[in-house]
Amino acid sequence: MKQQYKHLFPYKWNLSDGYPSEGIKPNGCKVFGTFICGGGSSMGYKLAGFEHLGGVEIDPKVADIYKTNHKPKHLFVQDLREFNKRDDLPKELYNLDLLDGSPPCSSFSMAGNRDKDWGKKKQFREGQAFQRLDDLVYTYIETIEKLKPKVALLENVKGLIQGNAKSYAKEMKKRFEDAGYRVQVFLLNAASMGVPQKRERVFFIGLRNDFDLPKLVLSFNEKPIVFGEIDNGLEQREKISGVLLKYLKYVTDSGILQTFKKSLGGRLGAVGFSYRVSNNLTPYTVIANGHNICYTDNTHYITKKELIKIGSYPLDYNFKTLQPKYLIGMSVPPVMTAQISNQIYKQWLSKV
């Protein structure tokens, strides 16, 4: 009998399984998060053996879901700009082993307005408040300066290092260095880490200057997980109809469905994105505010259980009143964070 491939961090798991992941030992390192959303990164750190202390989240509804699922020791429901002004923070948040942050990515997504919105205040879903989003990458670096963790990680979309957004990336690197960190920039794909999703993300990872350690090496080659592994064919599926189904024939394996832009008078955001996926292909990125569609012999909206597994979220996660696609689409997949933080511990934190 052919031996089944075993991933380091399984994408099918439950909160009730407990932490860390099977075969991983607690490492004694403490991590704190910002822009914690549903806790994708939080769960990843805990799967990798870290103690996650909690974090900062501006949206009360999302923060409540986070509290329900993670029971954090410290939870600050406020804008990170206000958090940075606080002088009453617990001592254990200073000199952390690792500080994590995923500033809202809509400002830099290639699918958004990008530089047309930079510098403007708008009412976004994040926090449901009028605020700028493009400068939050700098606000997070101010948090790094305030808390002075041994290692600081900043995650965002690939678009941050493309086109005009490169100026932000360049300035971010400079501010990391000014804050006292040697920073490396990685473009990583979750599909190579045991996540059933082609999700490319940029990671700025900084090591505080007082630690003299070799550069971090991140290379992942886990076996790709295809949709056929996720789909058991037993779930109740919602059929696609109307204009959406009419234009699906234009979707290609290469990715984003642009034909809706023409069909809806340029209002691409009114429909979102779609993609073609077959049983022998790894799914593309889960879209938080669009249509996530499986285009196979049985075309359908991706079901809740399929979304959860594609996002490597726990099967027993309590999403309360929010749609799973929102939190999963906004989160770093837990298994992706687990893989990265496992290497940060092995190569750096285990030696300091």
Partners of 204 in the β-ladder: 154, 185
* Set 29, 37, 105, 294: catalytic member: 105
Q: Which residue has the tokens 């997070």?
A: 140
For residue 154, give the 3-state DSSP assignment: strand
Of 42, 26, 91, 82, which Cα lies nearest the Cα of 58?
82
Of 41, 44, 50, 47, which Cα lies nearest the Cα of 17?
47
> What is the secondary structure of 108-151 as a DSSP string?
T-TTS-GGGTTT--EE-TGGGSEE--TTHHHHHHHHHHHH--SE
- Whether 64 and 318 have beta carbons less than 8 Å apart is answered as no
Across the chain, which distance is largest between two alpha carbons, in Å? 61
Of 296, 304, 301, which Cα lies nearest the Cα of 273?
301
Of 216, 213, 195, which Cα lies nearest the Cα of 205?
216
Of 74, 98, 97, 96, which Cα lies nearest the Cα of 86?
74
Told to judge if 29 belongs to the known catalytic residues of this protein, a careful annotator would answer no
Indicate which residues carry an active-site annotation. 105
